[in-house]
Structure 1
Amino acid sequence: MDLSYAAEDEAFRAEIRDWLATHLRGDWARLKGVGGPGRDEEAFEERLAWNRLLAEHGWTCVGWPVEHGGRGLSLWQQVIFHEEYARAEAPYPVNHLGETLLGPTLIAFGTPEQQQRFLPGIRAVTELWAQGYSEPDAGSDLANVKTRAVLDDDTWVIDGQKVWTSNAHLSQWVFVLARTEPGSQRHHGLSFLLVPLDQPGVEVRPIEQLTGGSEFNEVFFTGARTAADLVVGEPGNGWGVAMGLLGLERGVSTVAQTVGYARELAGVVDLARRTGALDDAVLRDRLASLSVELEVIRAQALRGLSTLEGGSDSAAGGGAGSIFKLVWAGWHKRLGEVAMEVAGPAGLLARGESGYELDEWQRLYLFSRSDTIYGGSDEVQKNILAERVLGLPREPKGT
């Protein structure tokens, strides 16, 4: 695979780099490095304003087709955009779920009316979205969804509970996987619904995390309603839509993670140099291994992207999305462990007036423990690769 960039791609790199250098200054410069997984509540209103500035200049939804309000960038130009955005330490987007997941899902599976209703608000960052997939008994085992929706004339009536719903307390809408065919089991009889959060019958309860934030939520639906035509795809066929969305979850924007990871690794190396931990040959070897592994992960991610199309399910491209999820999650978890070794005894102590203010390495260690769970656990990714890519026998189910 040729990982080099054409002249027009490098010209585009200069364009986005210059724009970020021009605009990410003054008051905006204070937002550098703000936000991200485990820190989504940081400076939320300021990041929202920044994202709307991006939208005004056409820098949101850059990979969407032009006819849907995007720039129609090529795959490599999308990679360039996200990498340069990460290198500039621009603030983490506030509508990641809308822009990179729901928007492309509506483009792939939605009706023209749904596209016209929702895509402009996502692009302009005026409507924010949350993801209503996981439940207390249906996390990585998503086919075990129990939330129900019943059609009442021209309205779906929804009852059930979702959990680990990122940013539901900051969003106006949530896309919900619900069981709409009574008596159906597993992946049959599910529908993909678009549901407003600001209504009677919806209760959002933030969950405090080990890192001190509360970006995750429980969401309770008790007779909540949404219009009958706000089902994406055919009623009862929501599993295919949901799987297409999860394929998008490990798309172009995730490649930019490796830029942030490289910055974190450099920070850990610098900390090891300052503490003297770098003199330990074993630790030095582990840091070197992490550096080499990260380069391999990036190359593997780019290779995998070239085999995927929008709306592909998790087995597409030889399971490229699952492979990428496995390798980056394990790598990041190991980086957090090494960071704690480098920090030494000081890494065990929380500080601040509250008695629980974490530094960046403590937060890295604690949040990275969840990397191998959220977005599809390691066990589920391995089952996808074993059963759907390699054709091995299905894992026995308990009775």
Structure 2
Amino acid sequence: MKLALEPAEQLLQEDVRAFLATHAPDASEIPHALDDRMAFLREWQARCYEAGFVGRAWPAEFGGGGRPTSEQIVVDQELAAAGAPEFPSVVGLDVLGPAILAFGTDEQRARYVRPILAAEELWAQGFSEPEAGSDLASLRTTAVETDEGWVLNGQKTWISWGQFARWCGVLARTDPELPKHKGISLLVVDMASPGLEVRPMEQITGHAEFCELFLDDVVVPSENMLGGRGDGWKIAMHVVGHERGTAALPRQVMLRTWLDRLVADAAAAGVLADERAQDELARALIEIEVLRHHASRTMAAFLNGGAVGPESSGVKLLMAQAEQTLCATALDVLGDAGAGPFWHERYLYSRAASVYGGTQQIQRDIIANRILSLPAE
């Protein structure tokens, strides 16, 4: 993958930096209370969308910028490097929006895409269940076809920002007599539907970022099926690969900005000259640089027209390891008392990096089977 920017990309980089210099909020401006913070972040995403920095590579006819994917990567890396607030529509932007573009009808694209980009409507992802997380194909939520549409019953868990979502992409079993990977479909569920209950789950960080979702005879119109009947597994694998493969580059940039902050914090605390601290910081830097090169290689294939394949599982493993190493290093170098709220919260959240988006065990299994072709025993 070429690392040098084209002239047009250099101009875009300057535009993004100028925009951020004028409009990027200071971290102290972001409310801590979750409801207030989400409202603030939605306004921030809308401002970035109006500036042309959200969905830059999405089709123009559906509200996107219609520009090359490489330009969105430039934007994402600049936002990360500046420490700009993350967008609240992450599920829509990284998971279900790409699925709608790839598998939806023109009517579905026209209805859903622009509100995703402008943060007018947030989305949730109803994939995992209490007994079907890593083994997603074992899901038990059912969808039965009736004259009124599809009737859903079941339970979903780990629903990111479910209490704020307008829509949820729910995987449900529409054909229970078929093999478990083949009888699954994806339905777009209105989160205001009768029979639907959302229960926030508080994490060790103190935030309720995730929810449980209960579906009790929830009716979904037939036209809200994404793709065809039985396409759910194919869609799920498409979006999971996209999520794992394309998120790593901006995440790597953000981790590098955190590392720079940690070096500054260590210098301020008077511990930067300690050889053990230097060794730990160097190890964190090496892991972030390894992530950068692997993520760049994965994105090279994507930008050349290829799909994000099983190699994204390796990137996912490296991303989790780099984040966990960096956050653990912060507590080791600064000490529990000296780390402060910033590093404590990031350390606690980093523990989930080896689970969300596919557990480490599942990623290793994908690598063993689909890349290395290792024998099952």
For Structure 1 versus Structure 2, the TM-score category normalised by the shorter chain is over 0.9
Structure 2: distance between partners of 1:32 and 1:68: 35
Q: How far apart are 1:184 and its partner, in Å?
A: 3.6
Q: Alignment partner of 1:60: what SS?
A: coil
- Distance of aligned partners of 1:198 and 1:70 in 2 relative to their CA distance in 1, 3 Å threshold: same
Q: TM-score normalised to the size of structure 2?
A: 0.93
Q: How far apart are 1:43 and its partner, in Å?
A: 1.4
Q: How far apart are 1:249 and its partner, in Å?
A: 0.7
Q: Which runs of 5+ in 2 are unaligned?
A: none
Counterpart position of 2:268: 274
Q: Alignment partner of 1:117: what SS?
A: helix
Residue 335 of structure 2 corresponds to residue 363 of structure 1:
no
Counterpart position of 2:368: 386
Q: How far apart are 1:176 and its partner, in Å?
A: 0.6
Aligned with 1:321 (options 312, 322, 339)? 312
Conservation of the 8 A alpha-carbon contact between 1:304 and 1:321: yes
Residue 57 of structure 2 corresponds to residue 75 of structure 1:
no
Q: Which amino acid aligns with 2:373?
A: G
More helix by share: 2
Structure 1: distance between partners of 2:304 and 2:178: 28
Q: Alignment partner of 1:307: what SS?
A: helix
Conservation of the 8 A alpha-carbon contact between 1:128 and 1:170: yes
Counterpart position of 1:163: 157
Q: TM-score normalised to the size of structure 1?
A: 0.88
Conservation of the 8 A alpha-carbon contact between 2:184 and 2:230: yes
- Distance of aligned partners of 1:33 and 1:375 in 2 relative to their CA distance in 1, 3 Å threshold: farther
Aligned residues: 377
Conservation of the 8 A alpha-carbon contact between 1:33 and 1:90: no
Q: Which amino acid aligns with 2:291?
A: I
Conservation of the 8 A alpha-carbon contact between 2:55 and 2:72: no
Structure 2: distance between partners of 1:119 and 1:258: 27
Aligned with 1:114 (options 81, 100, 108)? 108
- How well do the aligned residues superpose, as a CA RMSD in angstroms? 2.4
- Distance of aligned partners of 1:209 and 1:153 in 2 relative to their CA distance in 1, 3 Å threshold: same
Q: How far apart are 1:259 and its partner, in Å?
A: 1.9
Counterpart position of 1:46: 40
| 1:175-190 to 2 correspondences below 5 Å | 175-190=169-184
Counterpart position of 1:5: 5
Counterpart position of 1:352: none
Structure 1: distance between partners of 2:76 and 2:301: 19
Q: Alignment partner of 1:277: what SS?
A: coil
- Distance of aligned partners of 1:253 and 1:370 in 2 relative to their CA distance in 1, 3 Å threshold: closer
Structure 2: distance between partners of 1:109 and 1:58: 24
Structure 2: distance between partners of 1:88 and 1:264: 11
Identity among equivalent pairs (%)? 37
- Distance of aligned partners of 1:312 and 1:393 in 2 relative to their CA distance in 1, 3 Å threshold: farther
Q: How far apart are 1:34 and its partner, in Å?
A: 4.8
| 1:121-270 to 2 correspondences below 5 Å | 121-270=115-264
Q: Which amino acid aligns with 1:239?
A: W
Counterpart position of 1:339: 330
Q: Alignment partner of 2:302: what SS?
A: coil
Q: Which amino acid aligns with 2:362?
A: V
